[in-house]
Amino acid sequence: MNARVSEGRGLLYRLYGNRLRRQLDPSAVPHHIAMMIDGNRRWARQLGFDSVSDGHRAGAAKMREFLGWCDEIGVRVVSLYLLSSDNLRKRDSKEIADLIEIIAELAEALSQQSGWRVKHVGRSDILPAELARVLSDAEKRTEHNTGLHVNLAVGYGGRNEIVDAVRSILAEHHASGGSFEDLAEQLTPEMIGEHLYTGGQPDPDLVIRTSGEQRLSDFLLWQSAHSEFYFVEALGPDLREVDFLRAIRDFADRDRRFGR
């Protein structure tokens, strides 16, 4: 593609993006978006990079863009699925080492973003000590910020999260001297929700996944019970703002009945 054609296409996308933004109803913008960034490795291989880490680094850069898009239209909470507990067990050790470095850099950069609040969701005990420290420091540095709330799902598994929530409930109940019979009567979905890693936050209104894959992959299993889903064909690093704005437009057009 020559430079003139590329420039012309870029102008058309900007004009189209501007039109999509003007059409957005602020009241219909999702409060919480969960993003599953997928396709980084395929992107790197298709472009002939020597290492898939180039794809992960490009995906991390795209996530910073994505957060900016969310902030601009008034989204209040974004959850990014960056590294699952399954990834830690099953991925090549070199790839995991590169991912850990990239995620640490991303967390550090996001914690320097004016007004944004960063929270780690996942298990710190299964992460390398240095990454756990960086995530903890990012949380502490931003804990009083009131702008865009960014959840970084690292060392995360949805089933493990539910198990940890139940363990926390059992431990609290035991410490208070309550019986299992009492707990059985008192246990509610709301109680479990309060003990999840995202306790106190609204559930995601919209879950987006890139690369054409259509599965949850153990991400926010409990929280996404009533979420809307939107699947994008673009690989993670190729996601464009117009793809994002189309997802928001599609969400706004849906009739969310919540079982009614």
What are 120's strand-pairing partners?
A: 152
- Identify the active-site residue in 38, 54, 203, 205: 38
> How far from 193 is each of 18, 134, 161, CA to CA, in Å?
38, 26, 10
Cβ neighbours for 235, distance < 8 A, ≥ 6 positions apart:
38, 39, 40, 42, 43, 46, 210, 211
20 by Cβ neighbours in 10 Å (0-12 / 13-18 / 19+) ranks as middle
Strands (E), the chain: 32-36, 77-84, 117-121, 149-156, 206-209, 228-231
DSSP state, residue 205: S
CA distance linking residue 163 with residue 160, whole number of Å: 5
- φ/ψ of residue 213, rounded to 5: -70, 145
Residue among 40, 54, 87, 160 flagged as catalytic: 87
Tokens at 172, concatenated: 């609290």
Active site residue 87: yes
User: C-alpha distances in angstroms, 61 versus 40, 68, 95, 124?
Assistant: 11, 11, 17, 24
Task: Tell me how far apart the alpha carbons of residues 210 and 214 are, in angstroms, rounded to a whole number.
Answer: 9
Whole-angstrom Cα distance, residue 114 to residue 152? 17
Q: Token pair for residue 95?
A: 């790839």
The enclosing H or E element of 209 equals strand 206-209
To the query of whether residue 137 is one of the catalytic residues in this protein, the response is no
Which residues carry out catalysis? 38, 87
